[in-house]
């Protein structure tokens, strides 16, 4: 199938994009890499009347580094992160995760902000950025605000974004020189969406263990995070965290995959 007729707009700056998005209301959609939206439009699952292309806005493709953090524009591509074209605050975690995302053609177009805004449960960036305790910078008709990436997604393809808001950037604090991390993605073959995804980050006595592809937003394993930070036995903690997530309705096989992924990621971070 082909998409329905649509009006296409390429604004000159972020302010113009927000004005157009507000004016278009429910019939307007923002497009950057288009790796998800175009597929939905081709199937006519999504039929916006107006598509606002923000992919080339200078403020959204920029990357900057300050003393303790790196800010990546929302339209920085997966391949730019993979190839080291932007600063890496994660000591290799983000380039490693980017390389596992889809295929090279997808990584050349897809963007970090687009992944966060779509909030696909199987997506890599929401889980990785939650584990890194990163912040999303949101711009809208009421101005600028920040929101932790942990909690940005509120459900399946649902976020805290307000009408007219656009994710403009992601701010990631730099890991220390002694930080360690683990990343495990389980899928049937390379390039596919994850069936289970786990990210563990250990830095200066604090830890975060997050699983993705979890029937909803990324899930922080609080007990496992505490045990990883303290150097304790994490196996029972992971099981307890998954028991506490009854609202995710994991089947037995699905739960087993998440448990294996989490334990492997923790083992990598502990090595």
Q: What is the CATH number of the domain that holds 26?
A: 3.30.43.10
Per-residue pLDDT tens digits for 162-202: 999 999 999 999 999 999 999 999 998 888 889 999 999 99
Number of domains in the chain: 3
Q: In whole angstroms, what is the distance from residue 29 CA to residue 31 CA? A: 6
Domain harbouring 258, CATH code: 3.30.390.50
Helix ranges (DSSP H) in 6-152: 14-24, 37-42, 58-61, 78-82, 93-99, 104-109, 112-118, 124-131
Tokens of 174: 């730099």
Identify whether 47 is part of a domain: yes
Determine the angle formed by the axes of helices 235-244 and 252-270, rounding to 10 degrees. Answer: 140
Helix (H) / strand (E) containing 153: strand 153-155
- Using CA atoms of 231, 237, 242, 243 in order, give the dihedral in degrees to the nearest 10: -170
Indicate whether 156 and 66 sit together in one domain.
Answer: yes
The reply to whether 136 and 233 lie within a common domain is no
Over residues 23-42, the pLDDT tens digits come to 999 999 999 999 999 988 99
3 state SS of 259 = helix
Domain that holds residue 160: 58-173
Whether residue 66 lies inside any domain: the answer is: yes
Same domain as 89, residue 12: no
- Angstrom distance (rounded) from CA 258 to CA 190: 18
79 and 158 in a single domain? The answer is yes
- Whether 134 and 219 map to the same domain: the answer is no
Taking only the tens of pLDDT, the chain with its 271 residues reads 788 899 999 999 999 999 999 999 999 999 999 999 998 899 998 999 999 999 999 999 999 999 899 999 999 999 999 999 999 999 999 999 999 999 999 999 999 999 999 999 999 999 999 999 999 999 999 999 999 999 999 999 999 999 999 999 999 999 999 999 999 999 988 888 899 999 999 999 999 999 999 999 999 999 999 999 999 899 999 999 999 999 999 999 999 999 999 999 999 999 8
Task: For residue 1, tell me if it sits in a domain.
Answer: no
Specify whether 46 is located in the same domain as 66. Answer: no
């Amino acid at each position: 199938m082909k998409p329905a007729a649509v009006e296409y707009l390429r604004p000159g700056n972020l302010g113009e994009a927000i004005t157009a998005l507000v004016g278009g209301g429910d019939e307007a959609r923002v497009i950057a890499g288009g790796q998800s939206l175009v597929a939905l439009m081709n199937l006519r699952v999504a039929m916006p009347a107006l598509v606002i292309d923000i992919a080339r806005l200078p403020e959204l493709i920029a990357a900057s580094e300050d003393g303790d953090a790196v800010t990546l524009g929302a339209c920085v591509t997966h391949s730019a992160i993979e190839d080291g074209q932007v600063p890496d605050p994660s000591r290799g975690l983000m380039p490693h995760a980017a390389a596992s995302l889809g295929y090279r053609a997808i990584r050349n177009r897809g963007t970090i902000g687009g992944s966060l805004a779509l909030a696909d449960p199987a997506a890599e960036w929401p889980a990785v950025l939650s584990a890194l305790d990163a912040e999303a910078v949101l711009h809208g008709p009421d101005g600028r605000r920040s929101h932790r990436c942990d909690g940005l997604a509120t459900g399946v393809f649902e976020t805290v974004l307000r009408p007219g808001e656009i994710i403009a950037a992601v701010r990631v604090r730099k890991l220390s020189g002694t930080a360690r991390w683990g990343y495990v993605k389980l899928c049937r073959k390379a390039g596919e969406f994850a069936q289970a995804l786990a990210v563990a980050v250990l830095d200066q006595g604090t830890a975060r263990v997050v699983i993705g592809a979890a029937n909803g937003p990324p899930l922080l394993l609080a007990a496992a995070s505490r045990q990883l930070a303290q150097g304790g036995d994490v196996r029972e903690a992971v099981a307890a965290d998954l028991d506490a997530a009854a609202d995710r309705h994991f089947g037995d096989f699905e739960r087993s995959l998440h448990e294996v992924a989490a334990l492997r990621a923790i083992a990598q971070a502990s090595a």
